[in-house]
Amino acid sequence: MQALRGTKDILPQESIYWQYIYNKALKILSLYNYLEIRTPVIESVDLFKRSIGEATDILSKEMYTFTDQSNRNIALRPEGTASIARAFINHQLYQKNTQRLWYLGPMFRYERPQSGRQRQFHQLGIECIGSLNPMADAEVINLANRFLQEIQFRSYKIEINSIGSLENRKKYQQDLIKYLIPYEKDLDKDSQKRLNINPLRILDSKNKRTQEILNDAPSLSKYLDTESRQHLWLVCTYLDDLKIKYNVNDRLVRGLDYYNSTAFEFKSNLVGSQNAICGGGRYDQLIRQLGGPDTPAVGWAIGLERLLHIARDELKIKKKGILIYIATQGIKAQKKIWEIIQVLEKQEIRFELDLHNNNFQKQLKRASKSGAKACIILGNDEIENNFISIKRLDQHKQYAINKTNLLEELKKIEKTVEEKDQKTGTID
């Protein structure tokens, strides 16, 4: 049996990177009082029809759906924001102040698998719900920037735009369609399909010929009302105050229908056309569309597979191995070892107990391969004479200690290992 195409097992040597990402996100987002939320991976298909938009690629050809035993149309969630909005309404979180929420979990889209893109993928995202203030936009962009800096990934640029209000976009779309109709046959196939359904997405096309045609197309920025212009100007002003570098890209749009006003992306400098590692913006009408009160919101999401594919070489992670390996021989030693294990547990010292009934020589070979710094040896001789043997695997020496001195000896071993790590500059 093989894993399904587009899915991937995250093995122990890889999961350390996922734990690192989670811990860094928790640390940074907690500073800004963002609280973690976890929503189900299955939702009603209607939730995404009403939020994402039926003309989007996600809904038309990428979403995993099925009918359950109660004849309900169910979807595996393709993104996180709609589920957060649904939870916000269900639990009446609008009765409280601004909600700052973050999540990390699996999403599902039937896409062509490639490096950094899977059919089951994971997103880290944040949602700031309840504020129209441009400061909220600046806060979430700052947090994405802080997070990427914290994990020591710096090979990216930030692009920002305003896609204005629904009225702004309607006027713009009409003129954009008029401009593109004479070039319809020259557009790429996806853009031809979008022309009369979702023409704004054509701006996001990666096709060179389509981009050449768009060079003389009307600019969305000229259709923005005063309020949208002022909002974008303030967001940019706050980013300047934060000394965050960015470019205003008036062709930047987001692929989901619920976005309005601010849109932004973090794009890697290290990859080709699929270079967006973080995307987000405002969605001030989404909660009302789903039956909740009129509630503004802004947020972003980062695709973790793509981020790790791009940034993994830049992450400096100390792989925490075991400090102590435990070798025993004889039933008396195997009964006595649990006392020593309780000491290790209490001191939170990482260890591995050898579970093979081999002689000490074979156990010590496994100890050397384990990466442990020391091996505790307990056999018949140690039990009869009430001592413990310690083999320093990192120093190639062995000695005996009194059982009562075990804790003191463990602290010495920990200290020497920490000092060595500091000298080599290893980072957790």
Q: Are residues 73 and 142 in the same domain?
A: yes
* 254 is annotated as contributing to ligand binding: yes
* 123 is annotated as contributing to ligand binding: yes
User: Which domain, by its residues, includes 405?
Assistant: 324-424
Single out the residue in 264, 295, 314 at which a domain terminates. 314
What strands, in cross-sheet order, belong to the sheet with 65-67? 42-44, 73-76, 65-67
**Cα 255 from Cα 402, distance rounded (Å):** 68
Q: Are residues 277 and 328 in the same domain?
A: no
* CA neighbor of 287 nearest in space, from 48, 99, 86: 86
Q: What percent of the chain has pLDDT over 90?
A: 59
Q: Are residues 242 and 302 in the same domain?
A: yes
Helix axes 406-424, 331-346, angle to 10 degrees: 60
* 127 is annotated as contributing to ligand binding: yes
Single out the residue in 289, 314, 339 at which a domain terminates. 314
Binned at pLDDT 50, 70 and 90, residue 166 comes out as confident
pLDDT at residue 207 in the model: 83
Domain of 242, CATH number, reads 3.30.930.10
Q: Are residues 337 and 306 in the same domain?
A: no
**Cα 82 from Cα 100, distance rounded (Å):** 15
Asked if residue 296 lies in contact with residue 130, where contact means CB atoms within 8 angstroms, the answer is yes
Residue 192: inside a domain, yes or no?
no
pLDDT at residue 56 in the model: 66
* 212 is annotated as contributing to ligand binding: no
Mean pLDDT over 38-45 rounds to 95
pLDDT at position 427 over 50: no
Q: Are residues 44 and 145 in the same domain?
A: yes
Residue 51: inside a domain, yes or no?
yes
Residue 105: inside a domain, yes or no?
yes
What pTM did the predictor assign? 0.86
pLDDT at position 287 over 80: yes
* 283 is annotated as contributing to ligand binding: no
Q: Are residues 292 and 384 in the same domain?
A: no
pLDDT at position 260 over 80: yes
Q: Are residues 268 and 159 in the same domain?
A: yes
> What mean pLDDT value characterizes the chain?
89
pLDDT at residue 112 in the model: 85
Residue 420: inside a domain, yes or no?
yes
Q: Are residues 130 and 75 in the same domain?
A: yes
Q: What is the β-pairing status of strands 247-248 and 351-353?
A: unpaired
Question: Terminus-to-terminus CA distance in the chain, angstroms?
Answer: 37
What domain count does the chain have?
2
Q: Are residues 294 and 388 in the same domain?
A: no
Q: Are residues 361 and 295 in the same domain?
A: no
- Secondary structure tally for the chain: helices H, strands E: 15, 16
Residue 202: inside a domain, yes or no?
no
**Burial (CB count <10 Å: 0-12, 13-18, 19+), residue 359:** exposed
* 80 is annotated as contributing to ligand binding: yes
Helix (H) or strand (E) holding 392: strand 387-392
**Cα 427 from Cα 423, distance rounded (Å):** 11
> Residue 177: how many CB atoms within 10 A of its CB?
14
pLDDT at residue 55 in the model: 58
Domain of 394, CATH number, reads 3.40.50.800
Residue 170: inside a domain, yes or no?
no
pLDDT at residue 274 in the model: 60
Q: Please write the tens of the pLDDT for every residue from 101-157.
A: 999 999 999 988 877 789 999 999 999 999 999 999 999 999 999 999 999 888 899
Q: Are residues 250 and 287 in the same domain?
A: yes
* CA neighbor of 50 nearest in space, from 325, 258, 302, 269: 258
Residue 76: inside a domain, yes or no?
yes
Q: Are residues 243 and 391 in the same domain?
A: no
Higher pLDDT pick, 119 / 258? 119
**Cα 191 from Cα 201, distance rounded (Å):** 8
* 72 is annotated as contributing to ligand binding: no
Single out the residue in 267, 283, 314 at which a domain terminates. 314
Residue 214: inside a domain, yes or no?
no
**Burial (CB count <10 Å: 0-12, 13-18, 19+), residue 297:** buried
